[in-house]
Chains A and B, each alone.
Chain A
C-alpha cells in the first residue's frame, strides 16, 4: 500500500534559517508526491508536486523538494525561513485520492 511518513510533528527554526521538513514514502509503483500547506483556519494549499521528470521541483513561496528514489524521500526545503511560513505542512501521495502524512507544524522564531 502507498503511504507517506512525516518525521517530526513539530519543527522550530529561527527567521532566516534553513527549513527542512522530512517526508518518506512507501510505494510499489512510481509515486506521485505532493506537499500542501495549511495556514490556521484555512484549507490546504498546494506548495509543489512531483509526478515525473526533474527530481528537484520548485514550488511557491520559495519552497522546493527533491524526489530521491534511493532514499524513498521527498523532503521539503526552503533556504531562508520567513515568519509567514509558520503553518502546518502535509506530505501526500496520490492514489487517485490523496493519502496524507500526519503533518509537521513549522514554527518560525524572530
Chain B
C-alpha cells in the first residue's frame, strides 16, 4: 500500500541553523501539507500546497518557513533560522483531493532545537 515517507526521523540542530525536512507524498496525490505537533499538544496546520504553490497557510507559518516541491516526488519544509520553540514533531500529509478526502500522514520528523 502506498505511504507517505519522511526523512530524517529525528533531526537535532542548534538554534539559528537552517533545517530542511523532507517528505515523499503518495505519487498520485495532488495536495500536500505540513503539520506540527509540539510535545503533548494538538496537531497544528502549517501550510498546504497545490499546483506548485501555497494554497493556504496558518499564522504559525511565518517568513522563517518555506516549502518547495523541487522535483516530481519530494516535498520539503525549510526553517531558515531555527528557534527553541520550533522543537516539535513535523508531519507531512498528502491527499488526492480537498475536504472530503482523507489526508495520509507520514511518520513524522522529530525536530529538536538546542
Contact partner of A96 (CB less than 8 A), chosen from B35, B41, B43, B55, is B55
Indicate if the CB atoms of A99 and B100 lie closer than 8 Å.
Answer: no
A87 smallest CB distance to B (angstroms): 14
Q: Which residues from 38 to 52 on chain A have a C-beta closer than 8 Å to any C-beta of chain B?
A: 42-46, 49, 51-52
User: Which of B93, B98, B105 is most buried by chain A, counting CB atoms within 10 A of its CB?
Assistant: B105
Q: Is B87 on the interface with A (CB-CB < 8 A)?
A: no
* One of B33, B98, B105 near A45 (C-beta < 8 A): B105
- A32 contacts B99, C-beta separation under 8 Å: yes
B3 to A, closest residue via Cβ: A43
Q: Which of A1-60 contact B (CB under 8 A)?
A: 32, 34, 36, 42-46, 49, 51-52
Residues of B within 8 A of A103 (CB): 42-43
How many A residues touch B, CB cutoff 8 Å? Answer: 22
How far does the alpha carbon of A97 sit from the alpha carbon of B108 in the complex, in Å? 17
Chain A CB within 8 A of B103 CB: yes
The total of Cβ contacts below 8 Å across the A-B interface reads 56
B48 within 8 A of A: yes
- Encode B22-66 as 1/0 by CB contact (under 8 A) with A: 000000000001010000011111001000000110100000000
Once the chains bind, are B105 and A44 in contact (CB under 8 Å)?
A: yes
Interface residues of B (CB under 8 A from A): 4, 33, 35, 41-45, 48, 55-56, 58, 91, 93, 98-100, 102-108
Measured CB to CB, the residues of A under 8 A from B are 32, 34, 36, 42-46, 49, 51-52, 90, 94-103
